[in-house]
Amino acid sequence: MGIRERLSGNEAVATAMRQINPDVVAAYPITPSTEVVHYFSQYVADGKVDTEFVAVESEHSAMSACIGASAAGGRTATVTSACGLALMWELLYVASGARLPITLAVVNRALSGPININNDHSDSMGARDSGWIQLYSENNQEAYDNYIMSNRIAEHKDILLPVMVCQDGFITSHAIENIELLEDDKVKKFVGPYNPGFSLISGKPTSVGPYDTVPFYFEHQYQRARAMVDSKKVILDVFKEFGQLTGRNYGLFEEYRMEDAERAIIVLNSSAGTAKFACDTLRAKGEKVGVLKLRVFRPFPMEEIAKAVSHLKAVAVMDKCDSFSAIGGPVFGDVRNSCYGMSNGPQIINYIYGLGGRDVRVEDFTFVYENLDEIIKTGKTGEIYRHVGVRGV
């Protein structure tokens, strides 16, 4: 039986970190993820963990310290948001390229400029091709659960890739919700002891991150790419085991009222709750609508997404980030690519929404569903790259 509690998303992640008791946490505070660092540093001060907490001078230094600690054989974690993640950019590639299973709690916030401290997904989406596995969380419960599972995924001997666990800044990070925690001993048993595949202090000759010459670099990149492909099965295996332990069952994505839907919205993180409410409202009127909430963005579940939307007539992919490519956002690009070549597949359009913390309302999702209905009736997709919630548009 779990422990019923009321926690913010930030405290939920900090609690998961306490229960895991990593060897090293190196972090630099940045809004809105600062609370995670505050909570965890208090656990260190109170002796509730024996983690070596390293207070560094920047996020670049934080990831550098994590890389060193992980390469030395320690279970390692950090936390950041927005420009902090951007300052880590160089080291994100080093961490994944060196196959270091670091876990990173990302509290999603808009990237500058102009400067903005509110929520969108431009930080983690910008890092989508850095070789990190990415898990997204609709609510505080998912943020907590995802973080516990992230260690098992990252440290699997066939994967050894770092993992980002993402949640929406302020919306879930600071909002207090009911949550069910696992007992400390169950978390420790589920995560298990850390047995690094290699260590700089193992006594064996080891090199991490050497200069990779032409005869070897391509092969190492191929190995990293194959690990990302193979991680999908490991993720599902970990999800299944976690479901058996907790009764909370997760997949690569969640299908909400999709069985007989003709049009659907694809979305991730906290906005999924608003989309589900809009879906329920229209369902009560007899309209066949659904929601597909992405939970795993890297590796991208290409075949599974294509199968899930194959019976639909029209789909709107919602991006809380603009790739500034003039053709749409990052989630849209991957969804549309997944459906390429599908015979009689759905018409697919993209909506950019919620940038910089702009409210997304039930009415906005209802508007999107209405536009999908118009596409079905007319057979004309119209403009594919769209925006919703922008004044004057």
What is the rounded average pLDDT of the residues 32-60? 97
| Long-range contact pairs involving 206-210 (C-beta distance under 8 Å, separation at least 24) | 208/71, 208/98, 208/100, 209/67, 209/71, 209/94, 209/97, 209/98
Identify the CATH homologous superfamily for domain 3-246.
Answer: Thiamin diphosphate (ThDP)-binding fold, Pyr/PP domains (3.40.50.970)
Strands 253-256 and 289-294: antiparallel
Domain boundaries along the sequence of the chain: 3-246, 253-388
Per the CB < 8 A criterion, the answer to whether 293 and 272 are in contact is: yes
pLDDT at 1: 66
Confidence (pTM): 0.97
Residue linked to tokens 């004057």: 392
Query: Helix, strand, or coil here: 291?
Result: strand
Strands (DSSP E) contained in 221-324 are: 253-256, 263-268, 289-294, 296-298, 314-319
pLDDT at 287 over 80: yes
Burial class (CB in 10 A: 0-12, 13-18, 19+), 362: middle
CATH architecture of 253-388: 3-Layer(aba) Sandwich (3.40)
What is the rounded average pLDDT of the residues 290-306? 98
What are 250-266's pLDDT values in tens digits?
Answer: 999 999 999 999 999 99
pLDDT at 377 over 80: yes
- From CA 319, how far away is CA 368, in angstroms rounded? 13
pLDDT at 242 over 70: yes
What is the rounded average pLDDT of the residues 94-112? 97
Per the CB < 8 A criterion, the answer to whether 388 and 367 are in contact is: yes
pLDDT at 197: 80
> pLDDT band at 354, cuts 50/70/90?
very high
pLDDT at 305: 98
What is the rounded average pLDDT of the residues 20-24? 98
Q: Omega before 114 cis (within 30°)?
A: yes
With CA atoms as reference, report the closest residue to 35 among 58, 9, 54.
9
Q: In what order do the strands lie in the sheet with 253-256?
A: 253-256, 289-294, 263-268, 314-319, 347-352, 385-387
With CA atoms as reference, report the closest residue to 117 among 37, 176, 171.
171
| Main-chain dihedrals φ then ψ at residue 38, nearest 5 degrees | -60, -50
* Equal fold, 3-246 vs 253-388: yes
- The alpha helices in 251-361, defined as continuous H runs, are 271-283, 302-309, 330-338
pLDDT at 209: 85
Percent of the chain with pLDDT over 90: 94
